[in-house]
Amino acid sequence: MNRSSDVKGLIDIDGCSVRVVDAPRVATVRERMPATQDLDDTADVFGLLSDPGRLRLLVSLLDGELCVCDLAAVTGQSESAVSHALRLLRAHRIVAVRRSGRMAYYRLEDPHVRMLLDLALAHTEHSELIHPERGEQS
């Protein structure tokens, strides 16, 4: 599938020749590139975080666990929408649940989720984001 070409400065990737400027660095980066399935799984996590409604739920959980009713009140979503989003987040191990009688309390699954949220929020707080899709100019 991926192999080096005999011509200096070119590599063959899936039958196409690609120009390479820094061959040793390209080789190093390619060697440490995670497996395709790992990249797909990571993209799935970012996809889950890309929905503003789910993101509101996750930010709400930064201070600790909350029940569905309280999450609905905090985020302005219906209990049904919150439950649906939490099922999806739970299936991907982004949130965990603790049951107490008929009540279910949700929390962030682990410190990695908190770290992702903290870093993303810090990035947007100190960055002037440009949104061409919203008609904003630089």
Q: How far apart are CA 14 and CA 85, in angstroms?
A: 39
Domain ranges of the chain: 41-126
Structure token digits, residue 32? 């440490």
Read off the pLDDT of residues 14-48 as tens digits, 9 standing for 90 and up.
Answer: 666 778 888 889 889 999 999 999 999 999 999 99
Structure tokens at 12: 């063959």
For residue range 66-116, what is the model confidence (pLDDT) as tens digits?
Answer: 999 999 999 999 999 999 999 999 999 999 999 999 999 999 998 999 999
- Residue count of the chain, please give it: 138
Query: Residue 103 forms beta bridges with which residues?
Result: 100
Taking the C-alpha atoms of residue 109 and residue 96, their distance in angstroms, rounded to an integer, is: 5
Query: Is 41-126 a domain of CATH 3.30.1360.70?
Result: no
pTM of the model: 0.75
Question: What angle is formed at CA 85 by the lines to CA 83 and CA 91, rounded to 5 degrees?
Answer: 100
